[in-house]
């Protein structure tokens, strides 16, 4: 994905209407929120970015990109340059600027083929050439061959922007580890609702598949930065430790949610499946349904005073509950998941987006979507 010219951006914004909000308040993102979770740490990051090692991001040097991410308080980071721009000979990691004292660094590329894009994410530099050799395959087994080659190197394979101008045409009947349901701004240049609907259909089919975000940011010094930048959106993971392997494990499990900006609210869905008063089951986790009621809690970490949060709980692809809370940082609800069937619950939170770059919010590109969570699963194993 790459943005077109500014006129197209502005025209699309006008067509979408003026939906944004422009207050200047900020919010913290302290750990905490739901009690009784296993030991771990919340880390924010961006999982889809391009630097000057991509030919379409030549003005985006790593030496500027990484400090930008650090200044936004990110806990992990990866740059995913287009592998086709270097014929699979990845140079990003050899750049001496590819390091950070404060962020957990992952190693990634955007596997950029004529039949779609996917991110390969690893804990250390890897060999892209076995993947690159598969890029032109179009047979029915191509998708699984790609997944097998990624997993042979221990890589996380994550399909990017599955439905936009570079849709994923290898199919989904393959072992992908996550899918990018929120690329760049929620409403522009892609309407990410379509990717979310695709994801819901896969979840409803009985598949447990984690979702993530990615800014797909290409530039820091052009009009692009007026509407979005590093961390729009941000993916939060609850990692067992601040280490690359733990970040990828949390990402694959779906112990994560997506927020529109790195300094925005973080939304957490957890449940007390054994009704002992502690919310020990986190989004991404699976539990057995006993036929007894389950207590759920949606927490908005970093909630702004007096802000209104429109919370939607989706159960099995359908709206289960909609409620707006004002001046509250959580919503409790109860349901009895069917004992003899699969169920999943996930959360969307809407409201104002004051932490978004102002022009992007005013143009309606953020769609007033604050955050989405991964599902909490019952009977999926």
Query: Interface residues with Zn ion (CB under 5 A)?
Result: 110, 117, 160, 216
Q: For the CB of residue 378, give the shortest distance to Zn ion in the complex, in Å.
A: 34
Residue 108 tokens read as: 């990634």
Question: What's the CA gap between 152 and 146, in Å, rounded?
Answer: 10
CA distances from 45 to 17, 29, 244, 335 (A): 29, 13, 12, 32
Distance CA 59, CA 121 (A): 24
Distance (Å, whole) CA 53 – CA 72:
22
298: number of Cβ within 10 Å? 28
Q: Pick the closer one to Zn ion by CB: 172 or 296.
A: 172
8 A C-beta contact, residue 296 and residue 333: yes
Residue, CB closest to Zn ion: 117
How near is the Cβ of 165 to Zn ion at its closest, in Å? 9
> Residue 108 and residue 214: Cα distance in Å, rounded?
13
Nearer to Zn ion, 49 or 270 (CB): 49
Q: Which is nearer to Zn ion, 49 or 294 (CB)?
A: 49
Kindly tell me which of 48 and 72 has the beta carbon lying closer to Zn ion: 48
Q: How far is the CB of 42 from Zn ion (least distance, A)?
A: 25
Least distance (Å) between residue 360 CB and Zn ion: 18
Residue closer to Zn ion, measured from CB, 117 or 342: 117
Q: Min. distance of Cβ 168 from Zn ion in angstroms?
A: 10
Cα torsion at 133, 137, 142, 145 (round to 10°)? -10
Shortest distance in whole angstroms from residue 72 CB to Zn ion: 19
Specify the residue, 48 or 346, whose C-beta has the smaller distance to Zn ion: 48
Lookup result for tokens 């975000």: 213
**What is the sign, positive or negative, of the torsion defined by CA atoms of 281, 285, 290, 291?**
positive
Task: Write down the least CB distance from residue 117 to Zn ion, Å.
Answer: 4
The DSSP symbol for 114 reads T
Beta carbon nearer to Zn ion, 41 or 191: 191
DSSP bridge partners of 267: 300
Closest C-alpha among 215, 241, 214, 218 to residue 156: 214
């Amino acid at each position: 994905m790459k943005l077109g010219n500014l006129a197209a951006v502005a025209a699309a914004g006008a067509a979408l209407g003026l939906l944004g909000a422009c207050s200047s308040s900020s919010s913290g993102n302290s750990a905490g929120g739901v009690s009784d979770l296993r030991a771990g740490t919340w880390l924010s990051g961006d999982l889809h970015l391009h630097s000057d090692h991509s030919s379409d991001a030549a003005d985006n040097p790593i030496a500027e990109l990484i400090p930008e991410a650090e200044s936004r308080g990110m806990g992990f980071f990866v740059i995913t340059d287009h592998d086709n721009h270097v014929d699979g000979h990845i140079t990003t990691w050899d750049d001496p600027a590819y390091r950070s004292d404060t962020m957990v660094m992952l190693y990634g590329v955007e596997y950029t083929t004529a039949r779609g894009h996917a991110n390969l994410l690893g804990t250390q530099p890897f060999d892209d050439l076995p993947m690159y050799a598969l890029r032109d395959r179009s047979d029915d087994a191509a998708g699984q061959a790609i997944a097998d080659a990624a997993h042979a190197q221990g890589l996380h394979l994550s399909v990017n922007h599955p439905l936009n101008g570079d849709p994923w045409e290898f199919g989904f009947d393959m072992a992908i580890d996550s899918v990018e349901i929120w690329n760049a701004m929620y409403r522009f240049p892609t309407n990410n609702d379509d990717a979310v609907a695709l994801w819901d259909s896969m979840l409803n089919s009985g598949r447990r598949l984690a979702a993530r975000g990615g800014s797909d940011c290409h530039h820091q010094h052009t009009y692009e930065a007026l509407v979005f930048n590093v961390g729009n959106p941000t993916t939060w993971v609850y990692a067992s430790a601040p280490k690359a392997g733990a970040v990828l494990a949390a990402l694959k499990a779906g112990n994560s949610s997506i927020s529109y900006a790195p300094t925005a609210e973080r939304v957490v869905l957890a449940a007390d499946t054994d009704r002992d008063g502690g919310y020990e089951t986190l989004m991404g986790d699976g539990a057995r349904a006993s036929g007894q009621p389950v207590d759920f809690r949606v927490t908005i970490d970093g909630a702004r005073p007096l802000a209104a949060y429109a919370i939607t709980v989706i159960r099995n692809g359908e709206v289960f509950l909609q409620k707006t809370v004002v001046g509250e940082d959580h919503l409790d609800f109860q349901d009895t998941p069917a004992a003899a069937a699969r169920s999943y619950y996930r959360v969307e939170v809407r409201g104002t987006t004051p932490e978004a770059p102002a022009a992007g919010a005013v143009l309606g590109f953020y769609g007033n979507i604050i955050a989405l969570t991964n599902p909490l699963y019952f009977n999926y194993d």
